[in-house]
């Protein structure tokens, strides 16, 4: 871990200014990921900008939906009565991740900005284009059973580890950011990016920008949803594959479908074509299988993660079945129905 300066702004404007003055600085809120990365010498910021004093800790009604301040902790979001009642998919996804202790510290904005859990990214003794552009990708041809099957590139096969972001993608949340050129809104689906030839960049945040809030639209899918998370132990592990599924049904017919996958790509994976295909169709296993085939048509295995393609196919089908039946995965004992 390197030595660093520390500043603590009190307003968003001051925070933006502080980052503008030192582009190598890093914002720190819960620190649940950044501190680990600093201990591993993966991140070596010369300055930490402590944003925990910024007034971004409220969840408020907004445009028929809710606006979640960037500093609201994951635990607060997951247990907020409005979230639980109106956006149980989001609550479930958050509770599927990390541990109670981490969720108490981790912030909404920080969750979106957490880095990949690729082994090679964390290990400075190995090459990694995300950590050190141009050194190559250690995971390709290496230990990669947890890596991407969709949207990867020859430069990077890392996945984004967030569960919360997968639910937010399905809910069509919008990320509110503030920066040197003012405020702007980024749809969640466009917030994270694919690695391409620039895997060092995880998101489409412009230099100097800070997340101030995440907006949940009015449509909340409170009845027919699931967050199905499949992993190497029943709790406290990152997803091999996760599925956020949300449906609106007219009897046996799908009126609206939202589907996002975690653990399979460099970003929460949404395929609106597949969602469109589901709409107006009967809520049956055959329908779900067709959607799964479409989503995974372009999937590509690495040396040891080929099972994730079949697993994702099955998880999509099960996720849609769970959503249609109103039997989401339990996040207390992790039971899957």
- Interface residues with another protein (CB under 8 A)? 1-3, 39-41, 44, 117, 119-120, 122-126, 138, 141-143, 145-146, 230, 232-238, 240, 307, 310-311, 314-315, 318, 333-334, 336-337
DSSP state of 329: P
Residue 196 CA, chain-centre distance (Å), reads 18
Closest distance of CB 78 from another protein, Å: 17
Closest distance of CB 80 from another protein, Å: 24
- Of the pair 177, 239, the CB lying nearest another protein is at 239
Closest distance of CB 312 from another protein, Å: 11
- Of the pair 116, 224, the CB lying nearest another protein is at 116
Closest distance of CB 44 from another protein, Å: 8
Beta strands in 14-93 (DSSP E): 26-28, 47-50, 59-62, 65-69
- Of the pair 279, 303, the CB lying nearest another protein is at 303
- Of the pair 200, 309, the CB lying nearest another protein is at 309
Closest distance of CB 91 from another protein, Å: 18
Half-sphere exposure of 238 (CA within 13 A, CB side): 19
* b/e map 191-208, b = 16+ CB within 10 Å: bbbbbeeebeebbebeeb
Closest distance of CB 100 from another protein, Å: 11
- Of the pair 45, 179, the CB lying nearest another protein is at 45
- Of the pair 10, 99, the CB lying nearest another protein is at 99
CA distances (Å), 189 to each of 145, 194, 205, 256, in order?
Answer: 25, 11, 13, 17
Q: What is the DSSP string of 197-245?
A: T-TT--B-PPTT-EEEEEEEPS----SEEEEEEE-SSSSSS--SEEEEE
Structure tokens at 327: 């039997």
Nearest-5° Cα angle at 161, 107 to 325? 95
DSSP state of 96: T
Closest distance of CB 336 from another protein, Å: 6
Closest distance of CB 238 from another protein, Å: 8
Of the candidates 276, 130, 289, 257, the one whose C-alpha atom is nearest the C-alpha of residue 196 is 130
H or E segment and range at residue 182? strand 182-187
- Of the pair 191, 238, the CB lying nearest another protein is at 238
- Of the pair 44, 184, the CB lying nearest another protein is at 44
**Length of the chain measured in residues:** 337
């Amino acid at each position: 871990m390197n030595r660093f300066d520390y500043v603590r702004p009190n307003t968003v404007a001051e925070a933006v200014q502080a980052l503008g003055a030192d582009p190598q600085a890093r914002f720190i809120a819960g620190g649940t990921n950044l501190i680990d990365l600093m201990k591993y010498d993966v991140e070596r910021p010369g300055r930490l900008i402590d944003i925990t004093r910024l007034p971004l800790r409220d969840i408020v009604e907004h445009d028929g939906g809710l606006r979640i301040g960037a500093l609201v902790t994951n635990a607060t979001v997951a247990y907020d009565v409005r979230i639980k009642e109106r956006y149980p998919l989001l609550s479930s996804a958050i509770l599927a991740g990390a541990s109670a202790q981490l969720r108490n510290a981790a912030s909404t904005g920080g969750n979106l900005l957490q880095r990949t859990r690729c082994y090679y990214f964390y290990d400075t003794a190995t090459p990694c284009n995300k950590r050190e552009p141009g050194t190559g990708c250690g995971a390709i041809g290496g230990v990669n059973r947890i890596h991407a099957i969709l949207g990867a590139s020859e430069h990077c096969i890392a996945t984004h580890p967030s569960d919360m972001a997968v639910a937010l993608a399905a809910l069509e949340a919008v990320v509110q950011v503030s920066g040197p050129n003012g405020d702007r809104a980024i749809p969640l689906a466009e917030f994270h990016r694919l690695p391409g030839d620039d895997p060092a960049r995880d998101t489409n945040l412009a230099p100097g920008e800070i997340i101030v809030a995440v907006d949940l639209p009015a449509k909340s899918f409170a009845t027919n949803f699931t967050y199905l998370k499949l992993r190497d132990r029943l709790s406290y592990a990152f997803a091999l594959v996760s599925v956020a599924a949300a449906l609106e049904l007219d009897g046996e017919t799908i009126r609206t479908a939202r589907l996002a996958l975690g653990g399979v790509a460099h970003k929460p994976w949404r395929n609106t074509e597949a969602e469109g295909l589901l709409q107006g169709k009967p809520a049956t296993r055959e329908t779900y299988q067709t959607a799964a085939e479409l989503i995974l048509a372009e999937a590509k295995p690495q040396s040891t993660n080929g099972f994730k393609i079949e697993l994702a196919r099955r998880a999509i089908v099960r996720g849609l079945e769970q959503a249609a039946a109103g039997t989401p995965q339990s996040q207390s004992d992790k039971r899957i129905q």
